Amino acid sequence: AQSVTQPDIHITVSEGASLELRCNYSYGATPYLFWYVQSPGQGLQLLLKYFSGDTLVQGIKGFEAEFKRSQSSFNLRKPSVHWSDAAEYFCAVGAARGGADGLTFGKGTHLIIQP
């Protein structure tokens, strides 16, 4: 069965500093990987996704993520965070066969931005 681990429950970063959120997955075949963001009181919004090809993917809001098969990781990065980036971030893995299986989500990382 597929699974996702986000090791950090909370992360605090100063505004303007760089950010890296960790995500490790477990999946027997080629995974489809996603990062979603949930702002307070809102639903989840897709930041970026990896299906195949270039292992460095660019997303919205200046985020990027790198797929590392050898480490089973898909870490999210941003070079300079803004106060509006404070939110909950979820990594998710889906079945590469494109079936009906739901995405498996990590438990989330709560990002706090210090002024």
Partner 1 sequence: EAQVTQNPRYLITVTGKKLTVTCSQNMNHEYMSWYRQDPGLGLRQIYYSMNVEVTDKGDVPEGYKVSRKEKRNFPLILESPSPNQTSLYFCASSPSGVGTGELFFGEGSRLTVL
How many degrees, rounded to 5, is the angle at CA 108 between CA 105 and CA 110? 160
CB atoms closer than 10 angstroms to residue 48? 19
How many degrees, rounded to 5, is the angle at CA 7 between CA 93 and CA 50? 25
Q: Which of 28, 53, 102, 115 binds partner 1 (CB under 8 A)?
A: 102
Site for partner 1 in 13-42 (CB under 8 A): 32, 34, 36, 41-42
* Binding track, positions 56-95, relative to partner 1; x by CB under 8 A: ----------------------------------x---xx
Site residues for partner 1 per CB under 8 A? 32, 34, 36, 41-46, 49, 51, 90, 94-103, 105-108
